[in-house]
Structures are given as C-alpha cells and as structure tokens.
Chain A
Amino acid sequence: DAGVTQSPTHLIKTRGQQVTLRCSPKSGHDTVSWYQQALGQGPQFIFQYYEEEERQRGNFPDRFSGHQFPNYSSELNVNALLLGDSALYLCASSTGLAGALQSEQFFGPGTRLTVL
C-alpha cells in the first residue's frame, strides 16, 4: 500500500517563474492538504481539496493555486515565484471533508523548492 507520494523531490527555479508540484494521496484517502514549511519553522497550511474543490485556505496569496483530479491526486501551482517561496512543500492526505480534523493526516516526503 503506497503512502503519499510527491514529485519532484527537488526543484530549482528563478524569480518570476512558475512551478507545479504534484501529490498522490494514500490509497483510500480523498482529501489533500498542502503545507509550506520554511527552514526551522513548522508547516503552514496553504489549502485543502476535497471533491475537486478548494475547501479551506490559509493566509497565502492568489499566486498559490491548486487543483484536485477525479483520482484524488492534486497539484499545487505557484506563479511569479519570489525568493521567499523557497521552502519544503508538503502534501498530506486524509479522509472526508473534515479529514484533517478528525482523522490522521499522512504526509508525503515533500518537494524542496529553491528560488534563485
């Protein structure tokens, strides 16, 4: 049973570029949440997807957008990259609309994004 997978593992971009990160949830999970983790800090909630819709959003600008596909996998897109977007981006999956609240979240290994 595969856990949460993310791709790519590492990514280097320059300021102003756009990036797409991908996540496949754990088998049986239908809810995907994305987090940004800067060095030395805890993960910050970006948004959560359920039934292909964004259900919750954290304090992130519109440059951060996402998508969930019918097979529950998800993408995180970041436009007009800034140096401050350099971070580890984590995807977590769970079950149900309130999955993050009442059930365990399983995290992927993350994508390390470096913006130069």
Chain B
Amino acid sequence: SQQGEEDPQALSIQEGENATMNCSYKTSINNLQWYRQNSGRGLVHLILIRSNEREKHSGRLRVTLDTSKKSSSLLITASRAADTASYFCATGSTNAGKSTFGDGTTLTVKP
C-alpha cells in the first residue's frame, strides 16, 4: 500500500491563482520530499522537509509538515502555465529504508 497519498488527484486553476496539494501518510517518517514530473519524464526534486521542521520555502513554493496529523501540503503561489505537471510526495523513514511515493496530483494551469 502507498505510504504517501496526494489529494486532490487532479486540480485545474487559472494562471496567477494559487495551487494547494496535500499529502497524507500513515507511519512515522524522517523526511518528506515533493517532486514534479512533466508528462512521461523524470522527476524533479522540489523540496525536502525533515520531520523536525514545520515549514520550508523555495521561491514560489511553500511546504508545510504536520507530523501530528501525518500530513503535508505544497502551495504554489502565482501559478504559471509552466507549472502544469504531476506533483508527488515521497516519504522517507529509517524503518522503511526507502522512499515511498503516492500516485500524485495532476495540476493543470490554464493560461
């Protein structure tokens, strides 16, 4: 079963709007990473947030982590058509020994 599950499965917004994607997981983690994937291509690393961190920023991206709720969110501000992609969260834990991905959120930004 998937450790990380993204929500919603699909999101469609207009250029300039903000996009929020959520990730829930089931067991304790050491870190959580967000990735972007353009259609049929490799994954691009966006942000890594460790279990002792609550929020991280990178450019137009803001990631939060709530370990008590076992959830994370990715906010993309002032979205652009080029942000159209699938977004995945991946959890990493010592117990699992590997990163576990969800099935992603497909974001469409309309120009």
Contact = CB atoms under 8 A, between A and B. Distances in A.
Contacts of A92: 43
B25 interface: no
A33 B99 CA distance: 10
Interface string A53-64: 001101000000
B82 interface: no
Contact of B99 (A4, A105, A108, A110): A105
Interface residues of A, number: 29
Query: Which residue among B41, B97, B98, B103 has the maximum number of chain A CB atoms within 10 Å of its CB?
Result: B98
Contacts, number: 71
A110 B2 CA distance: 21
Interface stretch (A11-19, A39-47, A69-77): A39-47
A31 to B, nearest CB: 11
Given A102-B92, A107-B44, A41 B103 contact: yes
Interface of A: 4, 33, 35, 40-45, 48, 55-56, 58, 88, 90, 92, 98, 100-110, 112
Interface of B: 2, 4, 30-31, 33, 35, 40-45, 48, 88, 90, 92-94, 97-104
